[in-house]
Amino acid sequence: MMQAVGLRIDGLSKRFAHGVKGEVYAARDVSLDVQPGEFLTLLGPSGCGKTTTLRMIAGFERPDAGRIFFGGRDVTDLAANDRGIGFVFQNYALFPHLSIFENIAYGLRVRGQDGDSIIRAVSEVMALVGLSGYEQQFPAQLSGGEQQRVALARAIVIRPRVLLFDEPLSNLDAKLRVQMRAEIRALQRRLAITTVYVTHDQEEAMAVSDRIALMNRGTIVQVGTAQDLYHRPASAFVAQFVGRVNMVAGHLEQSASVSALGRHFVLHEIPPGVASGDPVRLVLRPEGFALSRGPIANGAVAAKVLSRTFLGEKIEYELDCLGERLQSVRYNAGAGALFEEGETIALRCTDETVIALKEENP
Ligand SMILES: Nc1ncnc2c1ncn2[C@@H]1O[C@H](COP(=O)(O)OP(=O)(O)O)[C@@H](O)[C@H]1O
Ligand SMILES: [Mg+2]
């Protein structure tokens, strides 16, 4: 196995001319360190600059400013072909007139490898991605999932130093997406290739990544593990993009508490730059509420069930609690445990489940 290389991007910027808005920054001063063998995902809403950043790493797009390093070596001025990257596109980008074998062999032929070593390398990766036997088929004869496996095989057969994915699963149905993302993750672990993966799907990002870099409007707003982003969001944008969330307004009071939902929440961490008396936003995750029938006592507050969505393994309830609309979720504990629309139930939440954020636009 080859030694995995680290990837560093330093201050990458790219502007495009925009018909209506004039010049727009697709990426603005983007810096990032990816460890050797790490699986890092660029996550963010459509148009935030993920593809542009990935294409600059690949060498398909020239940055206006900034440098790119593979294993400490500056590759900014190298053409894509000379960087040692494998790239998996959203639309697979297979050659329709070439067999599956020749599609996968293409990068090796371009590099002038001899016939025997091509057969060996292609057979090996075809087995790795579960496509043995498909050598003489053509892309149009394959399902979407199989075509994506061909694209993956083609990307790894050249033994890239850096593997890049741009929304590789968006053309697949939901079940296949879940299966393929697990396969991609397992293969990446096995080959230990430094990987940058682009998606707008937060669940996919959480499922596959060692770390996630969340982007918004051309910049990286937070980098961390899925758990970091979920439990310690740096801003309301992060809290809302990663998982579902309730935001409740309040003020920081003496002794680090905030009153909301009829009780005082004692914060375990005061957000930076917030002083006593300042407005804050409390982040409450839907799974952080304990819901029950029975008396409203022992720190509970009354909540009315506005709607119920039965999803099988879990049930989502929309609640009204002292005028706040709250999203909550519970695991299914059997038919008798379901709450009815219009019912008033007891809601509890503990200090541990609450995060406070600085109010950004008070
Ligand atoms: N070739 C291009 N010409 C003009 N504008 C572009 C071009 N590529 C991207 N953009 C603009 O740059 C911004 C970021 O695009 P992109 O990197 O594709 O975002 P994402 O992949 O996160 O959806 C968008 O506003 C997009 O319209
Ligand atoms: Mg994109």
Task: Give the CATH number for residue 281.
Answer: 2.40.50.140
156 and 282 co-located in one domain: no
Give the mean pLDDT of 249-262.
88
Q: What is the pLDDT of residue 171?
A: 86
Largest CA distance in the chain: 78
Q: What is the pLDDT of residue 155?
A: 95
220 and 281 co-located in one domain: no
Rounded to the nearest angstrom, the distance between the alpha carbon of 244 and the centre of ligand 1 is 27
* Phi, psi torsion values for 204, nearest 5 degrees: -60, -45
**Count of domains for the chain:** 2
Task: Give the CATH number for residue 124.
Answer: 3.40.50.300
In sequence order, which ranges of 2-73 are alpha helices (DSSP H)?
A: 50-58
- Give the pLDDT band of residue 361 (cuts 50, 70, 90): low
Residue 182 in domain: yes
Name which of 234, 183, 245, 181 is nearest 41 in CA terms. 181
Residue 2 in domain: no
Identity of the amino acid at 118: I
Domain edge (last residue) among 179, 202, 236: 236
Give the mean pLDDT of 263-281.
89
Protein residue closest via CA to atom 11 of ligand 1: 26
Rounded to the nearest angstrom, the distance between the alpha carbon of 51 and the centre of ligand 2 is 4
Residue 185 in domain: yes
CB contact at 8 A, 347 and 319:
yes
Measured distance CA(108)–CA(117) in Å, rounded? 9
Ligand (nearest to CA of 47): 1
Q: What is the pLDDT of residue 103?
A: 97
* Phi, psi torsion values for 33, nearest 5 degrees: -115, 120
> Minimum mean pLDDT among 59-68, 181-190, 319-328, 352-361: which range?
352-361
Q: What is the pLDDT of residue 117?
A: 94
Residue 260 in domain: yes
Distant-in-sequence, close-in-space partners of 136: CB < 8 Å, separation ≥ 6:
99, 100, 101
pLDDT over threshold 80, residue 1: no
E-state strands within 153-244: 162-166, 194-199, 211-216, 219-224
330 and 274 co-located in one domain: yes
Residue 272 sits at the vertex; the CA angle it makes with 270 and 276, to the nearest 5 degrees, is: 55
Give the mean pLDDT of 7-30.
93
223 and 282 co-located in one domain: no
Q: Exposed e or buried b for every residue in 189-198, given b needs 16+ CB within 10 A?
A: eebebbbbbb
Q: What is the pLDDT of residue 273?
A: 87
Phi-psi map region of 22: left, alpha, beta (phi>0 left; psi -120 to 50 alpha): left
223 and 276 co-located in one domain: no
Q: Strand order of the sheet with strand 65-70?
A: 22-34, 7-18, 65-70, 73-74
CB atoms near residue 173 (< 10 Å): 10
Pocket test for ligand 1, best of 12, 14, 16, 25 (most atoms within 8 A of CB): 16
Residue 209 in domain: yes
User: What are the pLDDT digits (tens) for 179-221?
Assistant: 999 999 999 999 999 999 999 999 999 999 999 999 999 999 9
Residue 16 CB less than 6 A away from ligand 1: yes
Structure tokens of 361?
């636009």
User: What are the pLDDT digits (tens) for 39-59?
Assistant: 999 999 999 999 999 999 999
Mean pLDDT score across all residues of the chain: 93
What Å distances lie between residue 235 and 82, 275, 282, CA to CA? 39, 17, 11
Domain edge (last residue) among 172, 205, 236: 236
232 and 337 co-located in one domain: no
What Å distances lie between residue 94 and 124, 157, 164, 196, CA to CA? 19, 14, 16, 21
212 and 263 co-located in one domain: no
278 and 228 co-located in one domain: no
Residue 1 in domain: no
Q: What is the pLDDT of residue 3?
A: 80
Give the mean pLDDT of 61-77.
97
- What domain range includes position 348? 244-358
Nearest atom in ligand 1 to 218's CA: 14
Measured distance CA(206)–CA(339) in Å, rounded? 30
Protein residue closest via CA to atom 21 of ligand 1: 51
Residue 216 CB less than 6 A away from ligand 1: no
Residue 250 sits at the vertex; the CA angle it makes with 213 and 226, to the nearest 5 degrees, is: 20
12 and 48 co-located in one domain: yes
pLDDT over threshold 80, residue 64: yes
Protein residue closest via CA to atom 18 of ligand 1: 51
Give the mean pLDDT of 85-99.
93
pLDDT over threshold 70, residue 88: yes
Domain edge (last residue) among 175, 201, 236: 236
Residue 140 in domain: yes
173 and 263 co-located in one domain: no
Structure tokens of 134?
């498909």
Identity of the amino acid at 59: G
Q: What is the pLDDT of residue 362?
A: 52
229 and 252 co-located in one domain: no
Identity of the amino acid at 266: V
Give the mean pLDDT of 167-171.
92
Question: pTM score > 0.95 for this model?
Answer: no
Measured distance CA(202)–CA(182) in Å, rounded? 15
312 and 228 co-located in one domain: no
Structure tokens of 74?
């500056």
